[in-house]
Structure formats: structure tokens, C-alpha cells
């Protein structure tokens, strides 16, 4: 059967694949659904976005960075929740760090501490791998070049190479294959809802698995915009100084993420020849991060999205 292409409207509901489960987040609540060995486990939670509490954080550009960090924190918590139902070998002894956390913090405080550390490590890895490492490696060719423009080309090429290599390597990991299947189930279910079709396994199965508002597309846009902005800024700073370049990359993170967020909002909210063209690279990259789900995964995704669809029709419009 041909894939469903029509879209009745665009929803702001988004999701994240977990370990044998899915996190779906709507305008007012989020739901985690995990298929544990004992059956489906559901966790619902009312949410209030940080930018709703502080309106200034909802301004264009700024809201992108705020939304990114907020989504990362909620995503890490959801991953930890799903991981609890699939523990590693019980014979493995807890690490010294685990024992230290248990000794110095209560259950809830320990969870918050682990979440904070996980977010910091995730951010650190992202910044280090895709921003600082390319700058460091590009420094090795600086003695052989005389212009900032050439340096920017070299650094940009290294950045893109690292990004594509990372995507390829992650996609080859066997442990992540089922997570990527749930990622595909999330996309198909959102497409089915946006098409105005009943949320059934049959209807979801026929949908596309590549969604323009996916986090994979967002990350690619971040990399591309960082290349463009860095190429401009580094033409006016001491580009041969490694620490200056490191510092500029860190200072530019918020505007880069903010511009990428606004770009994704625009592309995701409009269906024109231009937006379809602009979204193609990100959609292609989802070949690496989404796999075709089975019916049981679609059932999980359907349950998750049903829990966050607002009672007021249209409240979740993009």
C-alpha cells in the first residue's frame, strides 16, 4: 500500500524513542509508554514549560536554546525511567560512583543528581565532538594556510565529516536498532494523527517514517548553521589562536541553536516547494536514525500519543 502523504494539519506534539518505549509530549502533558516484560507501563505527567513561567525566555532565538535544554532534561529522565524496566545483569556489582550516590543522596535527590550529570555529559559530548574537536583538528593545518577563509573551509569539512561518521557508526550499533524502530513508530503515528486518520496500527503502518520536525533534522541544521555563522565570525577574530576559537564557539552556541530552532519551526509549519527542498537533507539523514517498526511498537506509539492529545481540538496546532 502506498504511503500516506496528505496532512490535515501540523501538530506541536513531538516524541522521543526510549528503551522499548516512547515519550510523547503535547502542549499540556507528556506520557511515557514502555513495553516491559510484564506488559505496558504508562507514566503521565502534566508539564509547564520554562518559557511559560518566564515570558522573556519565549522570545525568538532565546526560546530555541531553552527548549533544547528542557527537552534534553525530560528526555534523559524518560530514558532512565524506561531503562529501569530492563536492568543489566543483576550479578554486576554497582560502581563506586553508584555507591557514593546512594550513600549521600536520598532516592529522589539521587535521581536528580544523576539526571543533571547525564545532561551535562550529553551536552559536553555534543559540544566537544561537533564544535571543539573540529576546531582542534583544523589547527594542525593552520601553519600551511594564510587566510581565515581557507581555515573555515577546512574546519567546516572536518565538522561535517565527524557528524556523518557519527551518524553512520551509531546506526550500525545493534543495541540501538530497536530504539530506532521505536523512533520510526513515533514518526508514523504523528503523521497518522496529522492526516486526521483513526489511530490504528493499519493506518500508522502506511505512513512515512521520515518527519521534518525530527531531532535528527534539527541537529543537522545546527551543524550547518554553525558552519555558516562561524565562517563569518572567524573572519573578524584572531583565527589562529585556538583558545579564541574555542571561546567563540561556546559564545555562539545559543544563537546557533536559536536560529536552528526557528528554521525548523518555519520548515515544519509550511509546505511549499522551498520548505520541502530545505528539509530534504534532514529527512535523508533519518535513514540512519529510524527503522521500520513492528506492529507492537506502533501500538506503544499510539497509546502514547492518545494520552497527550488535548481535549480542546486544535490546541496542539503547530
Whether 64 has a pLDDT exceeding 70, the answer reads yes
| Residues in CB range of 67: below 8 A, 6 or more apart | 49, 51, 261
Whether 95 has a pLDDT exceeding 70, the answer reads no
Q: Which residue has the higher pLDDT, 10 or 187?
A: 187
pLDDT at 210: 93
Least confident of 114-118, 131-135, 190-194, 241-245: 114-118
**2 — pLDDT class (breaks 50, 70, 90):** very low
Least confident of 64-68, 145-149, 255-259: 145-149
pLDDT at 292: 96
Whether 91 has a pLDDT exceeding 70, the answer reads no
For the chain, give percent helix, strand, coil, nearest 5.
Answer: 65, 10, 25
pLDDT at 123: 87
d(CA 285, CA 167): 8
Average pLDDT of span 265-271: 82
pLDDT at 147: 83
d(CA 46, CA 54): 18
**233 — pLDDT class (breaks 50, 70, 90):** confident
**110 — pLDDT class (breaks 50, 70, 90):** low
For the chain, give the mean pLDDT: 86
Least confident of 34-43, 86-95, 187-196, 256-265: 86-95
Phi-psi region of 196 (alpha: psi -120 to 50; beta: other; left: phi over 0): left
pLDDT at 185: 97
Phi-psi region of 11 (alpha: psi -120 to 50; beta: other; left: phi over 0): beta
Q: Which residue has the higher pLDDT, 124 or 111?
A: 124
pLDDT at 1: 40
pLDDT digits (tens, 9 = 90+) for 122-171: 889 999 999 899 999 998 988 888 888 888 899 999 999 999 999 999 98
d(CA 274, CA 276): 5
Whether 93 has a pLDDT exceeding 80, the answer reads no
Least confident of 102-116, 149-163, 169-183: 102-116
Whether 193 has a pLDDT exceeding 90, the answer reads yes
Percentage of residues of the chain with pLDDT beyond 90: 45
Provide φ and ψ at 236, rounded to 5°: -120, 5
pLDDT at 61: 87
Amino acid at each position: 500500500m502506498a504511503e500516506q502523504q496528505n496532512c490535515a494539519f501540523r501538530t506541536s506534539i513531538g516524541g522521543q524513542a526510549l528503551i522499548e518505549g516512547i515519550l510523547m509530549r503535547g502542549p499540556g502533558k507528556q506520557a511515557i509508554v514502555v513495553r516491559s516484560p510484564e506488559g505496558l507501563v504508562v507514566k503521565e505527567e502534566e508539564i509547564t514549560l520554562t518559557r511559560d513561567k518566564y515570558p522573556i525566555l519565549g522570545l525568538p532565538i532565546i526560546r530555541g536554546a531553552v527548549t533544547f535544554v528542557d527537552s534534553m532534561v525530560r528526555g534523559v529522565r524518560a530514558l532512565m525511567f524506561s531503562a529501569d524496566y530492563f536492568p543489566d545483569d543483576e550479578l554486576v556489582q554497582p560502581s563506586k560512583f553508584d555507591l557514593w550516590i546512594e550513600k549521600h543522596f536520598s532516592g529522589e535527590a539521587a535521581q536528580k543528581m544523576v539526571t543533571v550529570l547525564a545532561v551535562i555529559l550529553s551536552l559536553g559530548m555534543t559540544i566537544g565532538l561537533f564544535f571543539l574537536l573540529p576546531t582542534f583538528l583544523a589547527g594542525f593545518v593552520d601553519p600551511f594556510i594564510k587566510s581565515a577563509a581557507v581555515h573555515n573551509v577546512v574546519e567546516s569539512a572536518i565538522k561535517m565529516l565527524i557528524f556523518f561518521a557519527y551518524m553512520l557508526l551509531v546506526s550500525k550499533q545493534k543495541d540501538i536498532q530497536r530504539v530506532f524502530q521505536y523512533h520510526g513508530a513515533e514518526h508514523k503515528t504523528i503523521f497518522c494523527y496529522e492526516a486526521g486518520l483513526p489511530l490504528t496500527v493499519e493506518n500508522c503502518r502506511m505512513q512515512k517514517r521520515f518527519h521534518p520536525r525530527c531531532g535528527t533534522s534539527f541537529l543537522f541544521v545546527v551543524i550547518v548553521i554553525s558552519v555558516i555563522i562561524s565562517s563569518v565570525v572567524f573572519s573578524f577574530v584572531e583565527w589562529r589562536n585556538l583558545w579564541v576559537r574555542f571561546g567563540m564557539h561556546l559564545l555562539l552556541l545559543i544563537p546557533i541553536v536559536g536560529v536552528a530552532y526557528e528554521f525548523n519551526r518555519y520548515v515544519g509549519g509550511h509546505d511549499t516547494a522551498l520548505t520541502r527542498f530545505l528539509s530534504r537533507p534532514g529527512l535523508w539523514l533519518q535513514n540512519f536514525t529510524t527503522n521500520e517498526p513492528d506492529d507492537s511498537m506502533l501500538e506503544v506509539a499510539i497509546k502514547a500519543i492518545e494520552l497527550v492529545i488535548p481535549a480542546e481540538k486544535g490546541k496542539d496546532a503547530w
